[in-house]
Amino acid sequence: MIKTKQEIVRQLKSDIPLFAKFSEELLDKLANSSRIVSFEPNESIVHYGTEATHFGVILTGMVMVSVIADGGTRLELGRLEAGSTFGELALTTGEKTQAELIAETRCEVLLIPVSVFQSIIVAEPQAMQHISRTISGRSRILAADPAKSAAALRQGDDPYGFKLKGERPEHILVVNCGSSSLKYTFYDTEDEGRHVRGQVERIGLEGTCHVHRGSKGEVKRELPGSGFAGALAAMVEALRGEPEVSVVAHRVVHGGERFTEATLITDDVLTQLDALSPLAPLHNPVNIAGIREMRGLLPAVPHVAVFDTAFHHTLPSYAYLYGLPYEFYEKQGVRRYGFHGMSHSYVCLRAAQFLGRRTNELEIVSCHLGNGSSLCAVDHGRSVDTTMGFTPVEGLIMGTRCGDVDAGVITFLERTAGLTVQQVDELINKKSGLLGLSGISSDMREILRAAEAGEARAMVALKAYCYRIRKYIGAYIAAMGGLDVVVFTGGVGQGSAMVRLLSLQGLDYMGIRLDEQHNRDARGFDEVCRVSTNDSKVTVLVVPTDEERMMAREALRALRR
C-alpha cells in the first residue's frame, strides 16, 4: 500500500532515529521532495562503484550489503533492517559507493535526493552527529572481521577466482553425464599444468567410443555395448595412472529453487534431486544416475553437485514469473530458472579480468551460443535475466529446440494435427530450431555453407537465429539500463564470425561497433579476443568458456562450507 505524506512523516519521526528531533516542517519538506520506491527480493538498490544520487531510508523490509571478495565470490558484509539508512559515507566524502545493496525481502525505501540531503539534513547538527556515529559504528564492525575488511578494501591475490585452491591439495574429477555421452576432466590443485580429460560418445548405441587424453597422450578405444555403468567404469580405469581422485564434481542441470549453490551430495540430497526430475526429465535423471554409479565406484571420496540453474537464483521475481495463475508457481514451481550458469559465470569473470575491471563494475550481456543457446543479462556480477526459462527450450532459436513460441501454437497443433504430449515434446526439443527451419541440419557450420550456396531456407534460418539474439541484446540493455560488454562464447559464439556479425548488425546506435577484420581474425577457441572497434562504447569480446574449471572451483568451495 502506498503511504500518504502524513504517514511518511509519522514514520520518520517515530521509527527513524536520525529524524527523531526534526521539526514537523522539516519532515514535511523531506517527504514532499523525496519518493518511495519498492524493491522486490533480489532486486539491486545500490550498485558498487556508482555516484551517490540519493540518501536512502529503509521503511520496510531487509537489505543485504555485499561486495565481490577475493576469488570473485559475493561476500555479505551485513544486513540493514527497517529504520536503517544508507548512502551516508558516499554523500559525505564524495566517493563512489563501496558496496552493493540488494533487497533480501520486499522493501520500501525512501529516496532523498542529494540536494535535499545537503540543504536539510546536513544543516542539522544533531543529524550530522548521528550520521558520523553510524559511519563509525559500521567501520568498527567491518574492521573487527579481517576477511570482510580485506574484501571491502579489494585485497587478495585471486580477484576472479580462477585458481583452484583448497584447504589441502585436491585431485578433482569433474563429470558431466549427457543423454548419450560422458565428458570428464581431472584437475590437480598442486599442478595446474596437468591436463587430463576425456569423453565417451554414443553410450547405449552402436559404436560407443572412449577417447582419453592424459599424460601419455591420446588413447582411443571402442566400448561395444556399454551403458553408463560401463562408460564410467572405463573412465575410472583410464585415470588409474593419475593421482588418486579426492573429490568428484557432478553437473546437475536443474537445482530448482532449493539448490542455489554447489552442494555436498548425501542420500537426503539425492532424494531431493529425484523430486526435481519432473522439472528436467531429459537431463536430471541421467545426471542422478551418473551420481549414483560414481558413488558406488568411488565411495570413499566426497561427491558434489554443481547446478546449471544456480547462477540465476539472483533473478528478481518480476523477471522469473510467467503471466500464469500464481498458484502454478506456488504449488508446481512453474517459473523461469535459466541454464548455462557455469558458462555465463565463467566468461563474465574472464571478460572482467581481460578488461582489468571487477565484475560488479560491469553490465554484461553474455551470449552462450552452441547447439543449446542462451543469453544472460549480468548486471554488476548478478544474473538479472536470461533467455532460457522453466526448461532449456525457451528463448533463442537453437540447433533442434524452437526457442520462444506462442503457447497457443501448441494447443493448435494438438487440436488440428492430433499431436500427443510426447510428440509435442519431441517436436520442440528435437525437430525444431535450425534443423526444422532449414530442413538441412542442426549444425550451424552446415547452415552457413548452405546459406552461402544460396539455399533460401538456410538463409532465413540463419537470419532468424541472429535476429533473435539481436532482439534480446536490445532487451537486456533496457533491463539493465546500460551496457559495457557483449561476450560471445560456446561453439557457435566462439567459432562463427558471421553469426557475431549478423547478431550485432544495426546496433551502432547503442554504442556497439564491430571491427570486421578483428572479428574475422578472432581465435575464439584459443584466447580472449576483442572484436569491437577502438571507439566502440561497448566492448565486444569472444571468450572461450570453461565450465569444467568453474565446476571444480565450486566443488572446492562446497567442501569449505
Do the annotations mark residue 250 as ligand-binding? no
Q: What φ, ψ does residue 417 adopt, rounded to 5°?
A: -105, -5
User: Do 111 and 45 touch, CB atoms closer than 8 A?
Assistant: no
- Pull the grid cell for residue 471: 532482439
E-strand stretches of 182-290 = 182-188, 196-201, 209-214, 217-222, 247-252, 263-264
Do the annotations mark residue 176 as ligand-binding? yes
Do the annotations mark residue 444 as ligand-binding? yes
User: Do 271 and 284 touch, CB atoms closer than 8 A?
Assistant: no
Do the annotations mark residue 312 as ligand-binding? no
Q: Determine the residue type at 522.
A: A
Do the annotations mark residue 83 as ligand-binding? no
Do the annotations mark residue 370 as ligand-binding? yes
- Nearest-angstrom CA–CA distance, 55 and 91: 8
Do the annotations mark residue 251 as ligand-binding? yes
Do the annotations mark residue 267 as ligand-binding? no
With vertex at residue 42, the alpha carbon angle to CA 68 and CA 327, rounded to the nearest 5 degrees, is: 150
Active-site entry in 28, 191, 267, 308: 308
Do the annotations mark residue 235 as ligand-binding? no
Do the annotations mark residue 183 as ligand-binding? yes
Q: What φ, ψ does residue 307 adopt, rounded to 5°?
A: -105, 135
Give the burial class of 284: count Cβ atoms within 10 A of its Cβ; 0-12 exposed, 13-18 middle, 19 or more buried.
buried
Rg of the Cα atoms in the chain = 26
Would you call 308 a catalytic residue per the annotation?
yes
- Nearest-angstrom CA–CA distance, 313 and 382: 9
Do the annotations mark residue 445 as ligand-binding? yes
- Nearest-angstrom CA–CA distance, 393 and 404: 8
Do the annotations mark residue 429 as ligand-binding? no
Residue that has been written with the C-alpha cell 549427457 in this structure: 178
Beta-ladder partners of 65: 78, 101
Beta-ladder partners of 379: 363, 382
Q: Show binding-site residues.
A: 176, 183, 251, 368-372, 443-445, 547
Q: Show binding-site residues for Mg(2+).
A: 176, 547
Query: Annotated active-site positions, please?
Result: 308
Q: Show binding-site residues for ATP.
A: 183, 368-372, 443-445
Q: Show binding-site residues for substrate.
A: 251
